[in-house]
Structures are given as structure tokens and as C-alpha cells.
Homo-oligomer: A and B are copies of this chain.
Amino acid sequence: MRIGELATRTGLTVKALRFYEAAGVLPAPERRPSGYRDYDEAALTRLRFVRAAQAAGLTLAEIRQIVTVREHHGPPCRHVTALLEDHAVDLDRRIAELTALREEVRRLRDRADRLDPADCDTTAICHVIPTDG
């Protein structure tokens, strides 16, 4: 099938498919004499994997590593498990950061309700945001 059909069947854009090929997560397909890409059904399987991996928070670079391991060294399961482990740790850290930030923002916002704009002088810019120093 041509790239447009693959796009509609996967819900991706033609641009994205060409980008995936350049990124190394979708193998370069055969070409017709006209130069048009000609995909087989395996492309659908591959793209399902790419989407599932993206949904699990993996980057295209990581997905490329996985398919490379698969093609050269056999089942990449251990590698994938390590990647997931790293991502879980990373997510924990980012969630903790964002949660702390959210509490700080709410604290500032609640405090702002008890402040009078008239008390705010020019040099401070805005006393809703305290400079603490």
C-alpha cells in the first residue's frame, strides 16, 4: 500500500510516517518505479508497537534502540524492562517536583486574596510574588 493509505489506516499523518522512517523506528519500505513507498502489512504491526511504546512514555530514540536490539540481538525484553524502570523513577521525580510547585502556586494564589494591590510598590513589581531576599 502507499503511504497515504497507511496513514489513514493507522490514524497517523503522512508526515509522521516519513519522520518515523528517518527516526529509525519504521523500516524503509520498498519503492515503486515511480519512487513511491510501498508498504506491506508488517508496517501496521510495527506502527502498533510504536504507538504502544509511545503511550508507555518511551521516546522515538528509545523505541529505535528497542527495534535495533530486536533485529540484532534477539528479544529486547530485559532492555525494555530497564527502560521502563528508568522511566518510572523519572516520573516519580517529575511528579514530586510538579506537586511541590503546585502547592507553592496555590499557596501564593491564596495569599494573594488577602493582599491589597495598593500596598504593591513599583520596585517590587508585584507583591503577590515575594522575592524573599
Q: Which residue of B lies closest to A76 (CB)?
A: B126
Most interface-central of A42, A45, A52 (chain B CB within 10 A)? A52
Chain A's interface: helix, strand, loop or mixed, by majority?
A: helix
Number of interface residues of A (CB under 8 A): 56
Q: Is the CB of B57 within 8 A of A126?
A: no
- Checking B52, B105, B113, B120 against A57 with a beta-carbon cut-off of 8 angstroms, the contacting residue is B105
Chain B residue contacts of A88, Cβ below 8 A: 102, 105-106, 109
Report which A residues bind B (CB closer than 8 A).
Answer: 42, 45-46, 48-49, 51-53, 55-57, 66-67, 70, 74-78, 80-81, 84-85, 87-88, 91-92, 94-95, 98-99, 101-102, 104-106, 108-109, 112-113, 115, 117-118, 120, 122-133
